[in-house]
Amino acid sequence: MSARGPIRPAPSPRTRSTAERAFYAALDSVPSPLAPLLTKHTGVMWAMVPSFAGTVIATTGEDNTVRLWDYATRRGIRFFKAPGPVSAMAISPDAALIATGGRDGSVALWTPTSPWRIAQLDAHTGAVLAAAFSPDGSLLATAGKDKTIRLWDPVNHEQTGQLEGYHMAFSHDGTQFATATRDGTIRFWDLATHQQTGQLARQAKEVRRLAFSPGGGRLATIDRSHVRLWDLSTHGHDHQIVSGPSYPAAYSPPCGAAFSPDGTLLVTGRTDGTVCRHALKRTTNAEN
C-alpha cells in the first residue's frame, strides 16, 4: 500500500469532511471545484452527501438549511429550512427522498419537489449521529447518541428494527450491514432476521466511521487516530493506515473514508480539511 497526499485542502478548516465529500473532492475527474457551493450557506457548511449515482448533492450547514444541487451544472435544485440544526443526512438511491437527522433526535423526510417535510420521525432520545439508505432504498438506518441504530420503512414511516450501535454502513450490494459500538466492536447483521452473522476483533479505540469497498470484500474503520482495513473473507486485519500519533491534540484526526468505484483507491479526510489518497493493492483473499 502506498499513500499519496495530501492532494487538496477543503475550503475551510472548520468544515468537517465526510467520507463522500472526501471521495468526490479527490477524484481527478471533477471538472471544477465544489467550493462555490459553500457560498450559498450562511456560516459553516457541516456536511455534503452525494446521491448513489452522483448526480445530486445535498449540503447542510449551521444556517439550518438543506440544499440540493445538480452535480454537473452546480445549479441549485431545491432548499429546505430544517426545524433545527442538522446533524446527519442521507439521500435515497433514486434521489427521490432526503432524510435529515437533528440534534433533538428527530428524523425528517423530504422530497426534491417540495420545500415541506413529508414526515417527521421521533427516532432517538439523543442527537442523530448518522443516517443511510440501503442500496435498494427499502430501508433507512439512523444512529443516535442513545447508542441505538433504528431501521425504518421510508415509505410507511414505521420502525422495523433496532440494533445496538452508534454508527453503521450498508455494503454496496445491500447484502451486508455493519454496526459499530462505542467499545470498538464491529458486528455484522442479517437485516431480514436481525441476527448477528459475524464480528471483528474489538479495537482499542471507539470506531467513528465505517465504509465498505465496492465489492464488499473489505471494510474501512476509522477511530480517533487510525484508518484500518479489514479482509472480510476472514474477518482478519488486512492493512493499517497510520494517520498520526495517539494523542488527538497533536494532530488532525481522520473523520471520513471512501473507496473509489474499482476499490483500488481509498480516500480519507481529516478534521483540518486535508484529503489524502491511498493506493490499495489487490489481494487474493478479498475482492475489491
pLDDT in tens, 262-280: 888 888 777 666 777 778 8
Give the three-state DSSP class for 89: strand
**Which amino acid, residue 286?**
A
Report the pLDDT averaged over residues 180-204: 86
Beta carbons of 142 and 152 less than 8 angstroms apart: yes
Q: Is residue 43 in some structural domain?
A: yes
Q: Please provide the size of the chain in residues.
A: 288
DSSP symbol at 16: P
Residue 169's pLDDT is what? 94
Q: How far apart are CA 59 and CA 249, in angstroms?
A: 28
Neighbours of 182 (CB within 10 A): 14
Neighbours of 130 (CB within 10 A): 24
Q: Is the confidence at residue 103, as pLDDT, over 70?
A: yes
What's the Cα-to-Cα distance from 161 to each of 38, 129, 150, 197, rounded to whole Å?
Answer: 36, 17, 6, 16
Give the three-state DSSP class for 226: strand
Residue 261's pLDDT is what? 81
Beta carbons of 110 and 129 less than 8 angstroms apart: no
Q: Is residue 108 in some structural domain?
A: yes
- At residue 252 the predicted structure's pLDDT band, cuts being 50, 70 and 90, is low
Count CA atoms closer than 13 A to 100's CA, side-chain side: 31
- At residue 260 the predicted structure's pLDDT band, cuts being 50, 70 and 90, is confident
| Percentage above 90 pLDDT, the chain | 28
Q: Is residue 67 in some structural domain?
A: yes
Phi, psi of 125 (to 5 degrees): -90, -5
- Residue 68, domain CATH: 2.130.10.10
What value does the mean pLDDT of the chain take? Answer: 77
Domain range enclosing 157: 31-164
Q: How far apart are CA 44 and CA 60, in angstroms?
A: 9
Q: Is residue 248 in some structural domain?
A: no
Phi, psi of 141 (to 5 degrees): -110, 135
- Virtual torsion, Cα 147, 57, 271, 237, nearest 10 deg: 60
Q: Is residue 36 in some structural domain?
A: yes
Residue 140's pLDDT is what? 97
- At residue 207 the predicted structure's pLDDT band, cuts being 50, 70 and 90, is confident
Residue 127's pLDDT is what? 92
Higher model confidence: residue 62 or residue 193? 193
pTM of structure: 0.78
Residue 98's pLDDT is what? 93
Residue 84's pLDDT is what? 85
The β-bridge relationship of strands 56-61 and 65-70 is: antiparallel
DSSP per-residue letters across 202-233: PPSS---EEEE-TTSSEEEEE-SSEEEEEETT
Report the pLDDT averaged over residues 87-104: 91
Among 3, 7, 52, smallest CA distance to 26 is for: 7
Q: Is the confidence at residue 108, as pLDDT, over 70?
A: yes
Residue 10's pLDDT is what? 34
- At residue 134 the predicted structure's pLDDT band, cuts being 50, 70 and 90, is very high
Beta carbons of 143 and 165 less than 8 angstroms apart: yes
Q: Is residue 75 in some structural domain?
A: yes
Cell numbers at 173, concatenated: 450490494
Q: How far apart are CA 273 and CA 169, in angstroms?
A: 23
Q: Is residue 56 in some structural domain?
A: yes
- At residue 14 the predicted structure's pLDDT band, cuts being 50, 70 and 90, is very low
Q: Is residue 48 in some structural domain?
A: yes
Number of structural domains found in the chain: 1
Beta carbons of 167 and 140 less than 8 angstroms apart: no
Beta carbons of 82 and 76 less than 8 angstroms apart: no
